[in-house]
Structure 1
């Protein structure tokens, strides 16, 4: 029977638990590599590919999210499963956008983690229940009312709203499941259509336009 070859990328906190020993006791899973930082994972996994990378977000040096983004370009068939204590929206969607195929919180328990590894290997998308709720809310809940200009497309208005909330380009990209370069293109188009040169000018101009429209009604 084929064992799922797993690499673990995490800090001392996770490695100090019984998780690795637990995984190696499973008949379907084998932990073949353990990495404590992103740089070693990049070089090691490229030399010895694995089926599943179980990774943490915060690491010494480059983050787990950046590691996944790079590795998915080199090893597209490898499944990447986040295992972290970070549960904020920005981190979750940055990880998913980078190429993570699942997102589990550390308090999920060893049984849930092993089931997550088997699920992601088979093409599933395991997530902790709270993460699932956040993803559903982001994808299906109607956006809150906010800035809107008739000069802009629907997506441009959506991005302008995100800009007004102070989100960074990476966070906006993760929110809409698009690349950072696509975000930059939309923002250039926004500036050109509104004839402005900055985020602040764009927000102020649309706010002024909306206020004038209300007063004229």
Structure 2
């Protein structure tokens, strides 16, 4: 499967560098590049990429607002933040806007490619600093509760695998159930834990001591 990527960054050299490297990957195709958030929103709507590599600080419209607009109109497009900032004033709003991945620009090129593939495959791709920020945020917003006890045994098994960053296909193979059945369990887990995606489910499991970080 070819992964179609849109790059949004206001620095020409950064865009050129990303394009130069990503074009060497046989399963990745660069479908467009944007130099500000507004262009990113317009191109995402037009080109329908699988994933947007989104800078946060850009002119006209920043990456957080652009992320929210893209996810609102095209929820199936994955957003990976690629930035120099790892503080809570950037991490939290970006994830709340709908970003599923968060990486720093000092990431090794091969690790970036791996993160892109994992995100498309449904795995978690948050930089450790971003993960810690989110766990702290969840601890502040939500006191510990016992929602996990409401899960069935099979749902708990699936949650444990989600927390390991496994895709639905990998979970199905490990638990010897169909991928369709895994999807049903994942949907039930999201509903019972009141979370909206795999990243939040994994963080919830860590926060409440169900699995170790």
Verify same fold: TM over 0.5. Answer: yes
Partner-residue secondary structure (3-state), 1:8:
strand
Please identify, of 7-16 and 110-119, the stretch whose mean Cα deviation from structure 2 is larger: 7-16
* Corresponding residue for residue 122 of structure 1: 121
1:77-124 deviations in Å (ceiling 9; x for gaps): 010000000111021010000000010011112111111111111112
Q: How far, CA to CA, are the matches of 2:95 and 2:117 in structure 1?
A: 18
* Corresponding residue for residue 9 of structure 2: 10
Count of equivalent residues: 144
Q: How far, CA to CA, are the matches of 1:14 and 1:96 in structure 2?
A: 22
* Corresponding residue for residue 49 of structure 1: 48
* Corresponding residue for residue 76 of structure 1: 75
* Corresponding residue for residue 31 of structure 1: 30
Q: How far, CA to CA, are the matches of 1:115 and 1:64 in structure 2?
A: 22
The answer on whether the counterparts of 1:66 and 1:98 sit within 8 Å (CA) in structure 2 is: yes
* Corresponding residue for residue 206 of structure 2: none
Q: How far, CA to CA, are the matches of 1:140 and 1:20 in structure 2?
A: 38
The answer on whether the counterparts of 2:92 and 2:133 sit within 8 Å (CA) in structure 1 is: no
The answer on whether the counterparts of 1:4 and 1:28 sit within 8 Å (CA) in structure 2 is: yes
Please identify, of 63-72 and 127-136, the stretch whose mean Cα deviation from structure 2 is larger: 127-136
Partner-residue secondary structure (3-state), 2:59:
coil
The answer on whether the counterparts of 1:108 and 1:128 sit within 8 Å (CA) in structure 2 is: no
In structure 2, the gaps of 5 or more residues are 143-194, 197-213
Q: How far, CA to CA, are the matches of 1:43 and 1:135 in structure 2?
A: 29
**Offset of residue 71 of structure 1:** 0.7
Partner-residue secondary structure (3-state), 2:126:
coil
Q: How far, CA to CA, are the matches of 1:130 and 1:39 in structure 2?
A: 28
The answer on whether the counterparts of 1:103 and 1:126 sit within 8 Å (CA) in structure 2 is: yes
Q: How far, CA to CA, are the matches of 2:63 and 2:140 in structure 1?
A: 29
1:62-89 deviations in Å (ceiling 9; x for gaps): 1011001001111110100000001110
Cα distance change of structure 1 residues 63 and 25 upon mapping to structure 2, 3 Å threshold: same
1:116-172 deviations in Å (ceiling 9; x for gaps): 1111111122011222222223334799xxxxxxxxxxxxxxxxxxxxxxxxxxxxx
Cα distance change of structure 1 residues 46 and 142 upon mapping to structure 2, 3 Å threshold: closer
Task: State TM-score, norm by structure 2.
Answer: 0.62
**Offset of residue 11 of structure 1:** 1.7
Partner-residue secondary structure (3-state), 1:68:
helix
In structure 1, the gaps of 5 or more residues are 144-176, 179-217
Q: Which has the larger radius of gyration?
A: 1
CA RMSD, aligned part only? 2.2
